[in-house]
Amino acid sequence: MLGAGLSGLLMGIRLKKAGIRDFTIYEKADSVGGTWRDNRYPGLTCDVPSRLYCYSFFPHGAWSRFLPPGEEVLRYLRAAADRFGIRAHIKFNTEVVSLRWGNGRWSLRSDRGDEGDFHFVVAATGFLHHPARLGLAGLQSFKGAVVSPSRWPPSIELGGRRVGVVGTGSSGTQIASAVAEQAGQLTVFCRSPQWVFPLPNWELSRLNRGLMGRFPALSKAAHFMYRYLLDALFGKATTHPGWQRALVTALCRAHLRGIRDPLLRQQLTPKDVPMCKRLVFSNEFYRAIQRSNVSVIRRPIDRVYRSGIEAGGVQYRLDVLVLATGFDSHTFMSRIHITGQDGRDLRDVWAGFPLNYRTMAVPGFPNLFMIIGPNSPFGHVSVPSIAETQTAYIMQLIGMFTRGLFTSAGPTEEAAREFQSSLDEAMPRTAWAAGCSSWYRNEAGYINTYPWSGSHFRNLLATVNCQHFTFE
């Protein structure tokens, strides 16, 4: 396995539950947790209900809020790794740099010189951990502190200082909301405003936590209830025109009208329709940016100079510069040099768009599977739910392998092309196809998400269709 985040840990747990203990997880960092380990910025909060953001078989009763703080998610993942004995299978501080298929196995090499041969490789490398860079002119000349959400120094002091935040996506809005009260002056540089959905984050009562902890069945019931509600509202709103899309749109527009200053409201009004880009979920951001010590700048950034940022010819002095510019969400596992059958290079196969079979496999790369890979429904389905569906599917194939039914299995080119055609046919009716530029689209304009509901996804991956595979 590649990666010890939420998905990699889940795959390890699945294997152990099946009695398979001969596996290794390669993790480039020194601990588990993935994006929840890397991102430690102030205000970090998961935008999925806490009862849903966990493994269905390992409920957690002690969540403190409706939307869990990032530190609680990280503690939960660490607890899962301990509870199911996964740490013993992890090689920390070891990044895989190449994979090569030959003689019915994958040959692996790491940055530390580790080499090994494996029957299967499962890539759980995630998609929100390589920061996107804007290439801001003069950034190296800035004499203050430059930080990013996934590289946040724990010792940095913001109280009374002049803080600039570049970006108003999920990370940028959470950081701005959290530091507005403590910063002496907060300047938010908004390149392209995004729609903000008003999602309150209430504290869960002691009674609630006690009942959920004492009776895990209640927590499991809440898990599946929230999954159903997410499918019924946001799953429908993003993938089909209808009353759900109209309702979400109306709530976003009504929330925006809560900004009292007409000029500020105009500055933060997106040009695109709601849900074309990923929604920001916050009940705090609009309140935070209306504070007297907060300014929103819509002018394009000209350059960074030694004392701050110049935008539209105006200089803004800063002590701390926060680059909340998002992530390279289209990398997946392509930073690893992967060579499949007949010398196929994955980077060449994925030039333009990431051809795949049902989000998890690529023709010409047998026994190689992905969790949260290209076209997974990460725009409207929770990551734990996606990962549980995909790992269950992979385990079906591994079970067939352990019974001696094949030595290698890979999807056919025809099956992958058929899946791609169905994506292309369904995508135009989705909210993501409304014409905006977002992290769902790659540089070639390809929309990299799943145009159907979560229940459709679970049904699609319920059983292995052997006619879609080449077995040896």
- pLDDT, mean over the chain: 95
pTM to 2 decimal places? 0.95
pLDDT-based confidence at residue 330 (cuts at 50, 70, 90)? low
Show contacts of 459-463: CB within 8 Å, 24+ apart. 460/358, 461/358, 461/360, 461/389, 461/390, 461/392, 461/393, 463/396
Average pLDDT on 33-60 reads: 95
pLDDT at residue number 335: 85
pLDDT tens digit sequence for 141-192: 999 999 999 889 988 999 999 999 999 999 999 999 999 999 999 999 998 9
Average pLDDT on 193-214 reads: 94
26 has a pLDDT exceeding 80: yes
pLDDT at residue number 135: 78
Q: What percent of the chain has pLDDT over 90?
A: 90
Average pLDDT on 285-291 reads: 98
pLDDT-based confidence at residue 333 (cuts at 50, 70, 90)? confident
Phi, psi of 321 (to 5 degrees): -115, 120
128 has a pLDDT exceeding 70: no
pLDDT-based confidence at residue 352 (cuts at 50, 70, 90)? confident
Average pLDDT on 361-374 reads: 97
Q: What percent of the chain has pLDDT over 70?
A: 97
130 has a pLDDT exceeding 90: no
Least confidently predicted of 54-58, 326-330, 359-363: 326-330
pLDDT at residue number 254: 98
pLDDT-based confidence at residue 431 (cuts at 50, 70, 90)? very high
Phi, psi of 357 (to 5 degrees): -110, 110
Query: What domains can be seen in the chain, in order of their start residue?
Result: 6-130+328-471 (3.50.50.60), 139-201+223-323 (3.50.50.60)
134 has a pLDDT exceeding 70: no
More confident residue, 352 or 223: 223
Least confidently predicted of 219-223, 396-400, 465-469: 219-223
pLDDT at residue number 320: 98
Average pLDDT on 1-20 reads: 97
